[in-house]
Structure 1
Amino acid sequence: MDTQSLQAFLAVAEAQSFSRAAEQLYLTQPAVSKRIATLESQVNTRLFDRIGRRILLTEAGHLLLPQAKRILSAVEDSRRALANLSGQVGGRLTLATSHHIGLHRLPPILKHYTQHHPEVELDLHFLDSEFAYQGVQDGTLELAVVTLAPHPIEQLHVVKLWRDRLCFVCAPDHPLAHAPALTLEILCQYKCVLPGAMTFTRTLIEQRFAEAGLTLPVSMATNYLETLKMMCSVGLGWSLLPEGMIDDELAELAIDTAPIHRPLGYLVHTNRTLSNAARKMIDALETTMEKG
């Protein structure tokens, strides 16, 4: 059972397509099919059912999937450990970040990093923070720089680097923009536009309102803060946005409640041997850590 066949198996299982798996692996579709056929021959059972255009895992395929992930993770971990002995900083660094952090926090860090470590192949993924957490947990990502989860998660090492103060905002011509003595209860009389229901940021916001016995009147939701800013600025509802996004298109509201902050930082798997490239990235990130 060779690693190339297992990689092809994982790619097809995740993409549910031989052609898309071939694109991901930079192979031809016949080459991927041959590797799957070799693996099926080695385990003496079919791993995929082909029903019309759909590619589905068989019962044996479902059984092999977690084992294949563990085998490939162990092999990659061994390669990193051996490469680290040389002290060289190179190879591929699979890094995920949220869209907001990638646009507003990471650019100077990435510029400095790539200038000082040109031998590193940066494999950068823009993902919702919740999906980035999952990627680090299952080993597909070595490092993630995202909004941190409200509660600790087993087997993840999490470090807070920064925090965003979330500001209550609305359009300058919204009725709330000129209302005196605002409270959470008054806000709930008007529609709001917020991050998606399952996001860490939304959970943080909902917790504040739940503590006051209030339910948020959400009319629309999106995980892209820049889109939320646009929706808010044209009067579709009030919102909460990071302080750094506030400009003349928005009116900041003074609400009778304590400030809401969301933690931002990086996470890695505690059982993973980090590459030298990842360690250098962490060093670069930690130089920007905010005090307090």
Structure 2
Amino acid sequence: MDTQSLKAFLAVAGAHSFSAAAEQLHLTQSAVSKRIQQLETQLGVPLFERHNRTVSLTDAGTALLPRARSILDLVADTTQQMENLSGDIAGSLSIATSHHIGLHRLPPVLRKFVQAHPNVDLDLQFMGSERAYQAVRLRQVDLALTTLEQTPKTDIAAIPLWQDDMVCVCSNNHRLAGISKISLQDLSSESAILPEPDTITYQLINNVFAAEGLTLKAPMPTNYLETIKMLVSVGMGWSVLPASMINDEALTIIDWPGASLRRQLGAVFLKHRTQSNAAAALLKLLHASADD
């Protein structure tokens, strides 16, 4: 039983697909299939039930899943601990982040980090918040800088760094701009321009409406907040954006009918994962920037 076969097993189990797992691992589908076959032969049991387009775990596969994760975690953490003993801040550091944080929060921190630690190879991957959490869990990235979930997770360490006060906005020419007192019902009857439904920001907004039995009309979701701002400014709908972004005379701030909306931005990483010296150095800089 080797680590590459276990990685292939976890990828197929997570994606429910050999082709998707192959893409994720940057391998051919036949290479992934061969690794799974070798693992099944070694263990003497089938690990997956093959369906037309998907696969699912057998009882043996379900039993192997937590053990495979533990084995790979132990190997990775042991390797990292040995590397950390050198004291060097070098090697690769992969970070998942949102475009908003990448544009508005990270530049001064990354500038200092790159200057102080030129031997670190940074890999920035831009993605939504839910996907970022998943990437951390799957060890696809070392840490993520994203919107924090409102309910803490037992396996994820979350460090709050920045707070975004959110405001509801529409175009000056939008019908809502002329209403003195707006209700959630008014907002639900108009098109909204919001992030993708699998983002924590969308869920934060949607929960307010769902609590009143209302449904959002958001036909054009996008995770680019600058794009959302542009679409709102030309009158295509209303949105909820960080107050720090609202410096456009074409936008009107609407009195939000519910409780004040805030989202917490921060760093997330696996609690039981040994962080590299590079990750620790970046987290130290992030803490300092948040305190400024």
> Deviation digits for residues 212-249 of structure 1, max 9, x if unmatched?
x6846534362513343243223232211112332437
Check conservation: 1:164, 1:243, Cα contact below 8 A. Answer: yes
Partner of 1:281: 282
Percentage of pairs with the same residue: 46
What residue ranges of structure 1 are gaps of 5+ in the alignment?
Answer: none
- Comparing 99-108 and 52-61, the one that deviates more: 52-61
1:4 CA drift (Å): 2.0
1:165 CA drift (Å): 2.0
Q: Which AA in structure 2 matches 1:266?
A: A
What residue ranges of structure 2 are gaps of 5+ in the alignment?
Answer: none
Q: Report SS of the residue matched to 1:74.
A: helix
Partner of 1:218: 217
TM-score between the two structures when normalised by the length of structure 2: 0.81
**What is the RMSD of the two structures over their aligned residues, measured on CA atoms?**
3.2
1:25 CA drift (Å): 3.9
**Residue 104 (str. 1) matches residue 107 (str. 2):** no
1:51 CA drift (Å): 4.5
Q: Counterparts of 1:203-242 in structure 2 under 5 Å?
A: 203-205=203-205, 215=214, 218-220=217-219, 222-224=221-223, 225-242=225-242
Q: Which AA in structure 2 matches 1:264?
A: L
Check conservation: 2:11, 2:24, Cα contact below 8 A. Answer: yes
Check conservation: 1:177, 1:251, Cα contact below 8 A. Answer: no
Q: Counterparts of 1:125-274 in structure 2 under 5 Å?
A: 125-137=125-137, 139-179=139-179, 181-184=180-183, 187-188=186-187, 191-193=190-192, 194-197=194-197, 199-205=199-205, 215=214, 218-220=217-219, 222-224=221-223, 225-248=225-248, 250-255=250-255, 259-274=260-275
Summarize the Cα distance change of 1:151–1:6 in structure 2 as closer, same or farther, 3 Å threshold. closer
1:164 CA drift (Å): 1.5
1:282 CA drift (Å): 0.4
Check conservation: 1:188, 1:214, Cα contact below 8 A. Answer: no
Check conservation: 1:188, 1:216, Cα contact below 8 A. Answer: no
TM-score between the two structures when normalised by the length of structure 1: 0.81
Q: Counterparts of 1:12-27 in structure 2 under 5 Å?
A: 12-18=12-18, 21-22=21-22, 24-27=24-27
1:197 CA drift (Å): 4.8
Q: Report SS of the residue matched to 1:229.
A: helix
Check conservation: 1:192, 1:216, Cα contact below 8 A. Answer: no
Q: Which AA in structure 2 matches 1:145?
A: L
Q: Report SS of the residue matched to 1:287.
A: helix
> Deviation digits for residues 180-213 of structure 1, max 9, x if unmatched?
x4344685475141345554323444566688x6
Check conservation: 1:190, 1:238, Cα contact below 8 A. Answer: no
User: Residues of 2 paired with 1:18 and 1:230: CA distance?
Assistant: 40
Check conservation: 2:188, 2:217, Cα contact below 8 A. Answer: no
User: Residues of 2 paired with 1:17 and 1:198: CA distance?
Assistant: 21
